[in-house]
Amino acid sequence: MPVAHLPVSVLRAVFVVLSLPVILGACKPEAKPVPQPRAVNVVKVGEADTLFGNRYSGDVRARYETALGFRVGGKITERLVEVGDTVRKGQVLLRLDPVDRKLSVDAAGQQVAAAESNHRQAKAEFQRFEGLYRQGFISAAEFDRRKSAFEVAAAQLAQARSQWTFDRNQADYTTLRADHDGVVTVLQAEVGQVVDTGTPVVRVVRPGEKEVAIAVPESRLADVRRGSEADIVLWADPSKSYKGRVREIAPNADQVTRTYTAKVTMLDADDRVQWGMTATVALSGGAAAARAIRLPSSAIYQKGDQAAVWVVDPANGQVNLRPVKLDRFADEYVTILDGVRPGENVVRAGVHKLFAGEKVRVLAGAAR
């Protein structure tokens, strides 16, 4: 029988049967996506902890550095180095206008020539009159006058030669040379600038041993001793700690700041330590000194009056809230006295979004 002649009730039944799979499929619950672990940025607690004690800020310097200046005044005509250049002993750094000095050398040379001529003439006369005196043809007084004239000519010649040497040295001083191998760190000179005698224009430091200069107030001077151990942390890289030792302490206080300058030698400085960097020096405080750990301030989770940090469990990737004991805040870091151990990964940001037992994913390269 053609479909067009089927009863309406039959057609409705066939439509329901054919539509049933589609309806049932649409009623199935959608599969929920599997939640991904939260990505976190962590900081790894360093093995080299910071020595807890009195702390001072200072700048990194070379153990040996020299401020160089011209031994004569004049106008700078040549600048042959730039800041950061490596120089060798005897290398020319700057030159002054030498014209006036060369004129003085020429004049002194002419004075020497004239003095040598007078000396030769006085010597010849002295020798001639000495023979006449021995033969009895002249008096002792006349002989003494010729002898005196010869001695004066000899003294004038010596004086002229000394002045010539002095002027040549002065001319040579118009060239400023490095007195040792090193690196130029300061250059306060421009071509055309007029400088006075002894004014420092170049600073050259010797590569190698480095130290940190700190200012110790009067109230803490008794706690600082030569040979005391210290831990040094660069502001540029707070995760790294360097060993140090107090080398010297100034005997007199600065008249303005009323502090005593102490220099702390860096015993294990590497290439990351650059001159001029700012560093924090923690001096050992004797028996009361203890090891402490520095963490970013953003890693602290404050729960009421209790400070804590989120520690990532390496076994299952979950975070656990760990109470910690704080010492002090400094810049963007806080000193932890107790609660975490070296080698553990601590979440450094977004700590208020986590919950205990949450599984997280440590970002690649985040632990440092």
Q: Which CATH number fits domain 65-97+174-205: 3.30.365.10, 3.40.50.1170, 3.40.50.300, 2.40.50.100?
A: 2.40.50.100
State how beta strands 50-62 and 290-296 pair.
antiparallel
Name residues whose C-beta falls within 8 Å of residue 157's C-beta, 6 or more positions apart in sequence.
112, 115, 116, 118, 119
Residue 341 and residue 327: Cα distance in Å, rounded? 16
Any idea of the CA torsion for 188, 193, 194, 196, to the nearest 10 degrees?
0
Residue 164: predicted pLDDT: 94
50-63+208-289 and 65-97+174-205: same fold?
A: no
Q: What percent of the chain has pLDDT over 70?
A: 83
Given CATH 2.40.30.170, say whether it is the number of domain 50-63+208-289: yes
- Comparing 47 with 86, which gets the higher pLDDT? 86
Enter the pTM of the model: 0.53
C-alpha gyration radius of the chain: 43
In CATH, the number for domain 99-172 is 1.10.287.470
Q: Which CATH number fits domain 42-48+292-362: 1.20.140.10, 3.30.70.260, 2.40.420.20, 2.40.30.10?
A: 2.40.420.20
Helix-helix angle 140-172:99-135, to 10 degrees: 160
- What are the boundaries of each domain within the chain? 42-48+292-362, 50-63+208-289, 65-97+174-205, 99-172
Lowest mean pLDDT among 89-103, 150-164, 185-199, 212-226: 212-226
- Residue range 258-287, pLDDT digits in tens: 899 999 999 988 888 888 899 999 887 543
Q: What percent of the chain has pLDDT over 90?
A: 43
Position 290 confidence tier, pLDDT thresholds 50, 70, 90: very low
Name residues whose C-beta falls within 8 Å of residue 187's C-beta, 6 or more positions apart in sequence.
79, 81, 82, 83, 201, 202, 203
Taking a C-beta distance cutoff of 8 angstroms, is the pair 328, 53 a contact?
A: no
What SS3 class is residue 26?
helix
